Amino acid sequence: MSRLALLPLMLAAALPLAAGAAPHGLQPKELATLDRFSSPVLTPDGAKLVFARRVVDYDANKSSTALWIQPTSGTGKATRLTPEGWNVNSPLVSDDGKRVYFLSSKGGSSQLYYVPVGGGAPVQVTAMPLDVSTYSLSPKGDRIALSMETYPDCAADLACNTKHEKKGDTPKTTGVVFDRMFIRHWDAWNEGKLNRLFVADLPAAGKTANTAKLVGGNVVADVPSRPFGDASEFTWSPDGQQLVFSARNADRDEPTSTNFDLYLVPADGSADARNLTEANKAWDTGGAFSADGKTLYYRAMKRPGFEADRFALMAMDLATGESREIDPKWDRSADGITLSADGKSIYTTAEDMGEHPLWAVDIASGGVTKLVGEGTVSAFDVKNGVLAFSRNSLKSGDQLFVGGLNGKGVRAASPSAGELLKDVRFGDYEQFSFKGWNNETVHGYVVKPWNYEKGKTYPVAFLIHGGPQGSFGNGWSYRWNPQTYAGQGYAVVMIDFHGSTGYGQAFTDAISQHWGDRPLEDLQKGWTAAQKQYSFLNGDKACALGASYGGYMVYWIAGNWNQPWKCLVDHDGVFDNRMMGYSTEELWFSRWENGGTPWENPEAYEKFNPINYVKNWRVPMLVIHSQQDFRIPAEQGIAAFSALQQKGIESKFLYFPDENHWVLKPQNSVKWHETVNDWLRTHIGQ
């Protein structure tokens, strides 16, 4: 059990090592079992903070999450709201500040509950025949919008869905016939169900809601979207009479389309949903009403078929249907929309130069102000002038903070990783820059080993991020964390090559149809620049590691830039780009990145295809792949390992039958890290 329960959840100075304690770098099991803090939610008066704390039972290979509450004044300790034995998620405080709602499967299925803010036993709110996956309270607190997974032919009949399930209890055949894609998505096969949006009345005291009205049934789509959609994809109007939701039609075009639209629907289900953004064939999402209900704010991309386009902030006059872009001069992509109390600003996070700050965007002028900089702001809430946010960095997982919007009085409301792991020493980090492709400025980070001593040199882990539209910036990861390499005594180098996010849309766009040239040039020049700027890097003892697109680049490096590396590590990488264009589930991705389908533009798929350069492979490689990875199917990793073995190159294959594109189970995570670390030790020492 974590020591956190014994500590006040307030900012404290780092304590000295206990007598006899041995300082060390971050180890894989410490990363996998570290308590995680998330979901900061304030009471309406801003006086109390509700948050989630996740703990891991390593022996049981599972985690559980509880809700806690504490004063924002810094004068009191955190107390647990949800009982032991309850695993909960999605906290939300009622507008009257009296209740904290949440979802839990304690009763056998995922249902809505609440606990009084002052503490008490959980009260069940819904008893639906299906799992409730997401929810939102109406402004008046009398109804809830909720999402449940249903069969399309059952429409609004919830009981029909349970009968549908029983029909399949003892099938005489396991064969399944599909007549369109998606046949599978992310890590799940298509069972013919859709996430649908319903509205139910909040029950009277002592009662539970077991029926709900389907709304927007004319839109056959997942609400929220799969696989990562959430409650931000639907919202109530201020009077509680209407809802706006974002959806993409679940039809034959779905695997090739990024066309999400915003729909307006009566909350009582009395009329069909009306498409508000039909004219824009790209992605529209994240609706938020103005206080008077006359304006709808939302985020929109401009280019159909491109999932990494910039999200612009938009304002729509609901009377006329006319929209305008709020922030046309801000070359950053907004993550969400939270309106200020006076309705004049939008609070949002957005990547920026290797950081992920919190911003305020003036709705009238489009002017932008940075409210919280440094590190990665992962979530926030604003109530009554009080700001609560969670932030992580290259030295700590999410830590909760509270304070004023003006930055005054900000204090920690939960411990950092260093306070939880008092014997761990984290490697210091520094951002650097150099001239990359097209003589443009490119940024990267260097992380020192935990036991760094001036004048010494250290082997290097050269990490390559995925996406490819992503970033290895100033943030914390529970999968690819540079501190786990620094914890083994390695220095770490990470380059945000062309295609990375947070440096302007043109920089992000530069990688499309250029997977193997522009990013490679940045990586090569970044590797050279890092060695010139940091004398402690031992370039003669270095391994390159990457996942997803980073895994693609490892395969590409194996055939096109293998001179510097003593070993390579590839996790769930694209080995055959041509086959990726046929086998990945989200086909729009390969189409955009390669300028068409494999049969329309075969030259583009072959130009930077790693499989064509296997003849040049020579460096020892560890290949990792998971069976439930439907984004980049496991056959890609198996084929790469087969090539290595047939060529007689030292190689290993780590296979997870029960993981997806990510390795999530605690013990599997430790197995992953230990295998990678052993591979690095074998080839570059430490």
CA distance 204 to 218: 31
131 in catalytic set: no
Residue with tokens 């979207």: 225
Give the DSSP H or E segment for 419: helix 417-420
The CA-based angle 603-609-611, given to 5 degrees, is 130
Identity of residue 533 = Q
CA distance 423 to 17: 7
661 in catalytic set: yes
Tell me the pairing of strands 188-189 and 284-289. Answer: unpaired
Give the DSSP H or E segment for 644: helix 635-646
Annotated active-site residue in 378, 416, 548, 651: 548
Q: Based on the number of CB atoms within 10 Å of its own CB, is 34 exposed (0-12), middle (13-18) or buried (19 or more)?
A: buried
Listing DSSP states for 536-605 in one string gives TEEEEEEEEEEETHHHHHHHHHHHHS-TT-SEEEEES--S-HHHHHHH-S-HHHHHHHHTS-TTT-HHHH
End-to-end CA distance of the chain: 31
CA distance 279 to 257: 15
Contact 484, 475 (CB under 8 A): no
Contact 371, 347 (CB under 8 A): yes
Annotated active-site residue in 465, 498, 661, 673: 661
Listing DSSP states for 371-390 in one string gives EE-SSEEEEEEEETTEEEEE
Residue with tokens 């041995």: 22
Tell me the pairing of strands 651-656 and 345-349. Answer: unpaired
CA distance 12 to 19: 20
Rg (the chain; Cα; Å) = 25
Q: How would you list the strands of the sheet with 88-93, edge to edge?
A: 88-93, 99-104, 111-116, 123-124
Contact 81, 115 (CB under 8 A): yes
Spatial CA neighbour of 124 closest among 138, 110, 141, 135: 110
Contact 313, 325 (CB under 8 A): yes
Annotated active-site residue in 63, 327, 629, 651: 629
Contact 557, 640 (CB under 8 A): no
CA distances (Å), 149 to each of 129, 134, 223, in order?
11, 10, 9
629 in catalytic set: yes
CA distance 370 to 349: 9
CA distance 530 to 513: 27
Enzyme catalytic residues: 548, 629, 661
